């Protein structure tokens, strides 16, 4: 009787769902690591709550950040989320490398089941909760500034997307403390993830975290695409948009059309698991191959969702730090669009070995190789942009150069993999793992780090520490090569991916090198945080309040750093591709507006946080079969949306007088600043005003 009551209240929760209890009962190193991870989450949450209470920061946090609809703050929150998740996933990667290096002919220290959870969370987090929030955050911050807009098209939707992503990421963290995660990899293939083989909560955590995240990303894509389509400032024609805006647009379009297949795949898997449908099961007509097809209909465009924004960042960075106009703008735009469309035609290369006939494989193999062409065009364009430019090797530029070399290497191995007979040989080996890390670390992570270093002074008004930036950069590059080049060798020698222990002694040296590489990558992560800390400590020496530390080209540099909440005192109008760069040369930059007007901004709203938190709670209820919670949560989300539609007072006015006061103050800062030449831009002399060569 009491059992019935408890299961009605707590679903299928039992005490052994807690890693502490499991570690107490069977104190192996593997279980203790699990309990340790859980306590890090709990202690981290307690520490954060204590700090917020001590510094009385709850209220400002809520009213100035969490409920904010300002695209700049939402962007920053996305990036913070990405860094938190990056830290967790890198630590998991290091654990896996240590396990493999120590488990040659011995069981090692991590149990197979725990190892499977590690690679599943590592992949899921890196893709959905590190890469996606990171690029979404950067686009959120930069894109509206670049197109001369005051905000995105749908500010509230932006907040809702952030909170859905945040809620989903929270669910991932909860899975460390309560229960366990999926062991089915980041792609969650059935029938293994079906009830018959994985009856536990793991795949359910995966399903709901990914579903919430993908809904958030679809809405984000919608929001960005409409913003770019409809909110550009006067004069900003499509072919005058900065390249980062172009890549953002293509990424958004990919999000709109590529996230739905993922939603369908996870939703159908959920129907199988919760209601006993037979879509992907082994019996009664289920067909898991359909899942593989649906998943990669999403999965391949997703790769370009991740990589295109970085291409945009590199275009901006290379042009700025070469003091040259971007070479081949039109070809870069066309290449971006070509990649976006082609990315919908190659998904089969993720399952060449599934058994379809060779002609079909050949078609998709050729299509895959075709994508190399526009990508190659881009690389040449960047090289020609640097050619005869005044190249400055700042941190973002170093990342761009490292990207170009590393990415081309990864592209070569991609061409190899695109060849179906060869794919049959290295399919499901570490060769593939090496390949996609070789694409995504330079093609996403370096790009986003370059973006962070490049636009950080704009967002916070001071530069990041250059020395620690270089140290961190060196670690990311050296660590990458040491960690992943050996995997090519191992993969070609037949080492299967996702393997908990090896039995081939010849693998040992390569696994050791890869292990050292992983440790260096961990150091790279740590030095990033050191850099942030040092930079904040020395912020007063590195202020760039005038707003233009790098002799920038686009509209985002034409305003104060950090920008006012309304971005532009008057909406600018542009006549070229590099409006601010040209403006500085013609003397039109830093002109006081003739007339100020009232500015209408969206009021803060608690709708986003409410929907995100309630959505995550609903998902938690579904994971644990706590049906009352799931039902209540669904109802609450619907009620919240309806209630919000009845709110009429959604705008507030920034009076013209305030705009004038703030703009005048900034213009005084500008005229007081010393214009500096590019040679000393990384010294404290840089106050954010660029010397224009005569």
Residues that bind another protein (CB under 8 A): 153-154, 218, 221-223, 225-226, 229-231, 253, 256-257, 259-261, 263-264, 267-268, 271-272, 275-279, 281, 283-287, 289-290, 293-294, 297, 344-345, 347-348, 354-357, 360, 638, 642, 645-646, 648
Closest separation between CB of residue 154 and another protein, Å? Answer: 6
Name which of 95 and 371 has its Cβ closer to another protein.
371
Name which of 229 and 627 has its Cβ closer to another protein.
229
Closest separation between CB of residue 221 and another protein, Å? Answer: 8
**H helices present in 547-598, as ranges:** 579-586
Name which of 112 and 286 has its Cβ closer to another protein.
286
Name which of 151 and 681 has its Cβ closer to another protein.
151
Quote the strand ranges of 538-669, DSSP E. 599-602, 651-654
Closest separation between CB of residue 572 and another protein, Å? Answer: 17
Work out the number of other CB atoms within 10 angstroms of the CB of residue 65: 16
Contact at 8 Å (CB) between 608 and 156? yes
The candidate with the shortest Cα–Cα distance to 337, out of 366, 377, 369, 384, is 377
Closest separation between CB of residue 65 and another protein, Å? Answer: 25
Q: Which residues pair with 462 in a beta bridge?
A: 543
Question: Residue 562 and residue 75: Cα distance in Å, rounded?
Answer: 13
Closest separation between CB of residue 299 and another protein, Å? Answer: 13
Name which of 496 and 631 has its Cβ closer to another protein.
631
Name which of 264 and 408 has its Cβ closer to another protein.
264
Contact at 8 Å (CB) between 405 and 477? no
Question: Residue 134 and residue 136: Cα distance in Å, rounded?
Answer: 5
Measured on CA atoms in the order 144, 149, 151, 153, is the torsion positive or negative? negative
Quote the strand ranges of 84-130, DSSP E. none
Closest separation between CB of residue 225 and another protein, Å? Answer: 6
Contact at 8 Å (CB) between 194 and 280? yes
Closest separation between CB of residue 345 and another protein, Å? Answer: 6
**H helices present in 103-242, as ranges:** 112-124, 132-146, 155-177, 202-230
Can you say whether residue 638 is alpha, beta or left, with left for phi > 0 and alpha for psi between -120 and 50 degrees? alpha
Alpha carbon 683 to its chain centroid, in Å, reads 30
Name which of 277 and 384 has its Cβ closer to another protein.
277
Name which of 6 and 274 has its Cβ closer to another protein.
274
Task: Output the six-digit token pair for 351.
Answer: 């399952």
Question: Residue 500 and residue 263: Cα distance in Å, rounded?
Answer: 30
Question: Residue 512 and residue 98: Cα distance in Å, rounded?
Answer: 8
Closest separation between CB of residue 385 and another protein, Å? Answer: 30
Name which of 97 and 232 has its Cβ closer to another protein.
232
Closest separation between CB of residue 67 and another protein, Å? Answer: 21
Classify burial at 643, counting beta carbons within 10 Å of its beta carbon; exposed 0-12, middle 13-18, buried 19 or more: exposed
Measured on CA atoms in the order 17, 18, 21, 25, is the torsion positive or negative? positive
Closest separation between CB of residue 32 and another protein, Å? Answer: 42
Name which of 221 and 583 has its Cβ closer to another protein.
221
């Amino acid at each position: 009787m009491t059992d019935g009551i408890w299961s009605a209240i707590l679903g299928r929760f039992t005490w052994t769902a807690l890693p502490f209890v499991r570690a107490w009962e069977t104190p192996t190193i593997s279980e203790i690591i699990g309990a340790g991870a859980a306590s890090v989450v709990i202690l981290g949450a307690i520490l954060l709550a204590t700090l917020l209470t001590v510094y009385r920061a709850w209220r400002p946090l809520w009213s100035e950040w969490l409920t904010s609809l300002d695209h700049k703050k939402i962007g920053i929150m996305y990036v913070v989320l990405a860094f938190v998740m990056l830290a967790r996933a890198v630590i998991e990667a290091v654990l896996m490398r240590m396990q493999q290096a120590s488990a040659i002919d011995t069981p090692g220290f991590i149990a197979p089941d725990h190892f499977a959870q590690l690679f599943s969370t590592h992949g899921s987090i890196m893709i959905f909760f590190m890469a996606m929030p990171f690029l979404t955050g950067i686009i959120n911050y930069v894109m509206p500034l670049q197109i001369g807009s005051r905000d995105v098209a749908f500010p509230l939707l932006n907040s809702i997307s952030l909170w859905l992503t945040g809620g989903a990421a929270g669910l991932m963290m909860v899975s460390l403390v309560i229960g366990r995660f999926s062991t089915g990899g980041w792609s969650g293939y059935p029938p293994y993830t079906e009830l018959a083989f994985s009856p536990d909560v793991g795949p359910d955590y995966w399903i709901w975290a990914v579903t919430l995240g993908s809904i958030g990303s679809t809405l984000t894509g919608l929001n960005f695409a409409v913003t770019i389509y409809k909110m550009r400032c006067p004069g900003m024609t499509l072919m005058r948009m900065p390249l980062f805006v172009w890549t953002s647009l293509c990424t958004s379009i990919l999000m709109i059309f590529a996230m739905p297949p993922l939603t369908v795949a996870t939703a159908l898997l959920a129907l199988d698991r919760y209601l006993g449908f037979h879509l992907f099961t082994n019996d009664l007509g289920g067909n898991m191959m359909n899942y593989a097809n649906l998943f990669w209909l999403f999965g391949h465009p997703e790769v370009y969702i991740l990589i295109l924004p970085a291409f945009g960042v590199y275009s901006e960075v290379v042009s700025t730090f070469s003091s040259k106009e971007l070479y081949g703008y039109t070809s870069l735009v066309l290449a971006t669009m070509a990649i976006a469309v082609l990315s919908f035609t190659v998904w089969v290369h993720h399952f060449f070995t599934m058994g379809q006939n060779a002609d079909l494989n050949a078609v998709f193999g050729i299509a895959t190789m075709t994508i190399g062409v526009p990508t190659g065009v881009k690389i040449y364009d960047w090289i020609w942009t640097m050619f005869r430019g005044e190249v400055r090797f700042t941190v973002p530029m170093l990342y761009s150069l490292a990207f170009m070399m590393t990415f081309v290497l990864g592209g070569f191995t991609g061409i190899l993999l695109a060849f179906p007979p060869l794919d049959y040989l290295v399919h499901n080996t570490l060769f593939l793992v090496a390949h996609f890390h070789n694409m995504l670390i330079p093609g996403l992570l370096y790009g986003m780090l370059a973006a962070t270093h490049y636009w950080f002074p704009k967002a916070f008004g001071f530069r990041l520490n250059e020395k620690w930036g270089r140290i961190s950069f060196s670690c990311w590059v050296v660590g990458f090569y040491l960690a992943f080049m050996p995997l090519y060798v191992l993969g070609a020698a037949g080492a299967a991916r996702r393997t908990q222990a090896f039995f081939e002694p010849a693998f040992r040296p390569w696994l050791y090198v890869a292990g050292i590489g992983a440790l260096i990558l961990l150091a790279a992560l740590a030095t990033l945080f050191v850099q942030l800390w040092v930079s904040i400590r020395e912020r007063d020496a590195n202020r760039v309040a005038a707003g233009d530390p790098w002799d920038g080209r686009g509209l985002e540099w034409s305003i104060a750093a950090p920008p006012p909440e309304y971005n532009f005192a008057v909406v600018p109008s542009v006549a070229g591709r590099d409006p601010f760069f040209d403006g500085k040369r013609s003397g039109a930059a830093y002109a006081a507006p003739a007339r100020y007007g009232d500015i209408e901004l969206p009021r803060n709203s608690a709708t986003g946080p409410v929907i995100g938190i309630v959505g995550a709670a609903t998902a938690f209820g579904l994971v644990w079969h706590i049906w009352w919670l799931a039902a209540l949560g669904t109802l609450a989300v619907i009620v919240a949306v309806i209630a919000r539609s009845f709110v009429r007072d959604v705008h507030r006015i920034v009076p013209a007088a305030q705009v004038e006061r703030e703009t005048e103050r900034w213009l005084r800062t500008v005229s007081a600043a010393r214009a500096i030449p590019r040679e000393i831009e990384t010294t404290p002399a840089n106050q954010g005003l660029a010397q224009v060569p005569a």
